[in-house]
Amino acid sequence: MCDSHHHHEAATTATSAVSGVTFHVSDMTCGHCAGVIRSALEEGLPGAAVDIDIAKALVTVAGDQAKAEEAIRTAGYTPVPVTH
């Protein structure tokens, strides 16, 4: 998905410290992608805690699932809710 030339594979945490809704975002492939998604979530859900694990392609956000999913889609990515 990412056209960035600077791919960073560092994941934030192995297990999410944020309690909320989790999405699998398979087209989030690098640090640039994660940054775009984080910015979109911060704009769509101001103040919501966000945890991103690039290695597992997981995004967890504390907040409204529909708003979070819309923000990720608007950023150009494909979120799939993860059920536990």
Residue 19: band (very low, low, confident or very high) from pLDDT cuts 50, 70, 90: confident
Task: Identify the pLDDT of residue 23.
Answer: 97
Residue 30 scores a pLDDT above 50: yes
Q: pLDDT tens digits, residue range 37-84? A: 999 999 999 999 999 999 999 999 999 999 999 999 999 999 999 986
Residue 28, pLDDT score: 97
Residue 4 has pLDDT above 60, yes or no: no
Residue-wise burial string across 56-76, b where 16 or more C-beta atoms lie within 10 A, e elsewhere: bbbbbbebeeeebbebbeebe
